[in-house]
Amino acid sequence: MITSGSFGREDSRWPAGGKCKPVLRTGAAHPCRRPAHRLPSANMNDPEVTMLDALANTDLIAHRKALDAAGAAIKLVLRLPTPLKPIADQVIRSASSVPANLAEGHGRSGRDRLQFWRIAYASAKEVDSHLRLLAATGAISSSAAQVVLDRFDQVRAMIWRLLHPKA
Protein backbone atom coordinates (compact mmCIF):
# COMPACT_ATOMS: atom_id res chain seq x y z
CA MET A 1 0.00 0.00 0.00
CA ILE A 2 1.35 3.42 -0.90
CA THR A 3 1.14 5.84 2.00
CA SER A 4 3.02 8.86 0.68
CA GLY A 5 1.05 12.08 0.95
CA SER A 6 1.60 12.93 -2.71
CA PHE A 7 -0.22 9.80 -3.88
CA GLY A 8 -3.29 10.65 -1.84
CA ARG A 9 -3.77 14.18 -3.13
CA GLU A 10 -6.59 14.77 -5.57
CA ASP A 11 -4.35 16.63 -8.00
CA SER A 12 -1.83 13.80 -8.28
CA ARG A 13 -4.20 10.98 -9.23
CA TRP A 14 -4.66 9.78 -12.77
CA PRO A 15 -8.12 10.33 -14.21
CA ALA A 16 -10.54 7.44 -14.50
CA GLY A 17 -9.34 4.84 -16.98
CA GLY A 18 -5.68 5.39 -16.13
CA LYS A 19 -4.85 7.48 -19.20
CA CYS A 20 -4.43 11.18 -19.50
CA LYS A 21 -6.82 12.57 -22.08
CA PRO A 22 -6.30 15.93 -23.76
CA VAL A 23 -8.43 18.79 -22.58
CA LEU A 24 -10.64 20.19 -25.32
CA ARG A 25 -11.93 23.22 -23.45
CA THR A 26 -9.70 26.26 -23.33
CA GLY A 27 -8.84 27.62 -19.94
CA ALA A 28 -9.58 24.33 -18.18
CA ALA A 29 -6.96 22.75 -15.98
CA HIS A 30 -5.21 19.73 -17.44
CA PRO A 31 -6.37 16.64 -15.48
CA CYS A 32 -2.86 15.15 -15.25
CA ARG A 33 -0.94 18.16 -14.01
CA ARG A 34 -0.67 19.73 -10.60
CA PRO A 35 -2.32 23.15 -10.43
CA ALA A 36 0.24 25.97 -10.64
CA HIS A 37 -1.19 27.82 -7.63
CA ARG A 38 -0.42 24.98 -5.25
CA LEU A 39 2.88 24.99 -3.40
CA PRO A 40 4.92 21.79 -3.52
CA SER A 41 4.85 19.72 -0.36
CA ALA A 42 7.74 17.96 1.33
CA ASN A 43 7.36 14.51 -0.16
CA MET A 44 9.99 11.93 -0.96
CA ASN A 45 10.08 12.86 -4.65
CA ASP A 46 10.47 16.59 -4.08
CA PRO A 47 13.96 18.07 -4.42
CA GLU A 48 15.88 18.44 -1.19
CA VAL A 49 16.19 21.91 0.25
CA THR A 50 19.70 22.59 1.51
CA MET A 51 20.99 25.47 3.54
CA LEU A 52 22.92 27.95 1.45
CA ASP A 53 24.33 29.73 4.48
CA ALA A 54 25.55 26.63 6.32
CA LEU A 55 28.45 27.26 8.63
CA ALA A 56 31.70 25.35 8.51
CA ASN A 57 31.79 22.26 10.75
CA THR A 58 34.30 23.96 13.01
CA ASP A 59 31.70 26.61 13.85
CA LEU A 60 29.54 24.00 15.56
CA ILE A 61 30.95 23.69 19.10
CA ALA A 62 29.38 20.27 19.59
CA HIS A 63 31.27 19.02 16.52
CA ARG A 64 34.63 20.20 17.89
CA LYS A 65 33.96 18.59 21.27
CA ALA A 66 32.78 15.40 19.57
CA LEU A 67 36.03 15.23 17.58
CA ASP A 68 38.05 15.57 20.80
CA ALA A 69 35.96 12.94 22.59
CA ALA A 70 36.15 10.53 19.65
CA GLY A 71 39.93 10.92 19.44
CA ALA A 72 40.27 10.21 23.16
CA ALA A 73 38.02 7.14 22.93
CA ILE A 74 39.93 5.73 19.97
CA LYS A 75 43.30 6.22 21.70
CA LEU A 76 41.92 4.45 24.75
CA VAL A 77 40.93 1.26 22.91
CA LEU A 78 43.72 0.96 20.33
CA ARG A 79 45.85 -1.38 22.44
CA LEU A 80 43.17 -3.75 23.68
CA PRO A 81 44.01 -7.48 23.63
CA THR A 82 42.87 -9.62 20.70
CA PRO A 83 39.73 -11.13 22.32
CA LEU A 84 38.39 -7.59 22.86
CA LYS A 85 39.14 -6.30 19.34
CA PRO A 86 35.48 -6.55 18.21
CA ILE A 87 34.43 -4.25 21.05
CA ALA A 88 37.34 -1.91 20.27
CA ASP A 89 36.26 -1.82 16.63
CA GLN A 90 32.73 -0.96 17.67
CA VAL A 91 33.99 1.83 19.94
CA ILE A 92 35.99 3.22 17.02
CA ARG A 93 32.98 3.06 14.67
CA SER A 94 30.49 4.56 17.10
CA ALA A 95 32.90 7.23 18.38
CA SER A 96 33.77 8.37 14.87
CA SER A 97 30.08 8.34 13.96
CA VAL A 98 29.29 11.11 16.44
CA PRO A 99 31.24 13.97 14.80
CA ALA A 100 30.49 12.61 11.32
CA ASN A 101 26.72 12.71 11.88
CA LEU A 102 26.93 16.12 13.55
CA ALA A 103 28.79 17.44 10.51
CA GLU A 104 26.40 15.87 8.03
CA GLY A 105 23.36 17.10 9.95
CA HIS A 106 24.86 20.58 10.14
CA GLY A 107 24.78 20.75 6.35
CA ARG A 108 21.13 19.69 6.15
CA SER A 109 17.88 21.30 7.16
CA GLY A 110 14.58 20.29 8.67
CA ARG A 111 13.90 16.65 9.45
CA ASP A 112 17.13 15.47 7.83
CA ARG A 113 19.15 17.64 10.18
CA LEU A 114 17.33 16.34 13.25
CA GLN A 115 17.69 12.73 12.12
CA PHE A 116 21.46 13.01 11.77
CA TRP A 117 21.69 14.68 15.17
CA ARG A 118 19.58 11.90 16.71
CA ILE A 119 21.96 9.33 15.23
CA ALA A 120 24.92 11.25 16.68
CA TYR A 121 23.24 11.24 20.10
CA ALA A 122 22.58 7.49 19.92
CA SER A 123 26.16 6.79 18.83
CA ALA A 124 27.45 8.79 21.81
CA LYS A 125 25.27 6.63 24.07
CA GLU A 126 26.70 3.53 22.41
CA VAL A 127 30.28 4.66 23.09
CA ASP A 128 29.29 5.22 26.72
CA SER A 129 27.98 1.67 27.02
CA HIS A 130 31.05 0.06 25.45
CA LEU A 131 33.52 2.06 27.54
CA ARG A 132 31.66 1.22 30.75
CA LEU A 133 31.79 -2.46 29.82
CA LEU A 134 35.52 -2.33 29.10
CA ALA A 135 36.19 -0.46 32.35
CA ALA A 136 34.08 -2.95 34.34
CA THR A 137 36.09 -5.87 32.94
CA GLY A 138 39.39 -4.16 33.71
CA ALA A 139 40.41 -3.98 30.05
CA ILE A 140 40.88 -0.22 30.33
CA SER A 141 41.62 2.05 33.27
CA SER A 142 38.48 3.24 35.04
CA SER A 143 39.90 6.73 35.54
CA ALA A 144 40.89 7.05 31.86
CA ALA A 145 37.47 5.75 30.84
CA GLN A 146 35.77 8.28 33.13
CA VAL A 147 37.58 11.17 31.44
CA VAL A 148 36.31 10.04 28.03
CA LEU A 149 32.83 9.32 29.43
CA ASP A 150 32.67 12.88 30.79
CA ARG A 151 33.60 14.27 27.37
CA PHE A 152 30.87 12.25 25.66
CA ASP A 153 28.43 13.33 28.36
CA GLN A 154 29.15 16.97 27.45
CA VAL A 155 28.70 16.16 23.76
CA ARG A 156 25.37 14.43 24.45
CA ALA A 157 24.20 17.46 26.45
CA MET A 158 25.06 19.74 23.53
CA ILE A 159 23.30 17.48 21.04
CA TRP A 160 20.26 17.36 23.33
CA ARG A 161 20.11 21.17 23.25
CA LEU A 162 20.37 21.09 19.45
CA LEU A 163 17.47 18.64 19.30
CA HIS A 164 15.38 20.46 21.92
CA PRO A 165 15.98 24.22 21.60
CA LYS A 166 14.34 26.45 24.16
CA ALA A 167 11.15 27.98 22.88
Share of the chain above pLDDT 90, in %: 60
* Domain boundaries, position 28: 1-47
Same domain, 125 and 156: yes
What's the rounded Cα separation, in Å, for the pair 39 and 35? 9
Same domain, 75 and 99: yes
101, 123 contact by CB (below 8 A): yes
Same domain, 26 and 73: no
State the pLDDT at residue 166. 82
Same domain, 95 and 19: no
59, 112 contact by CB (below 8 A): no
The whole model's pTM is what?
0.65
For the chain, the domain total comes to 2
State the pLDDT at residue 17. 56
Residue-wise pLDDT for 65-93, tens only, equals 999 999 999 999 999 999 999 999 999 99
Instruction: Tell me how many degrees the CA angle 100-142-86 measures, rounded to the nearest 5.
Output: 50
Same domain, 73 and 25: no
Within a domain: 40 = yes
Confidence band, pLDDT 50/70/90 cuts, at residue 114: very high
Domain at 111, CATH number: 1.20.1440.60
Q: For the residues 2-8, what does the mean pLDDT come to?
A: 47
- Which of 38-47, 64-73, 124-133 has the weakest average pLDDT? 38-47
Within a domain: 137 = yes
Chain mean pLDDT for the chain: 80
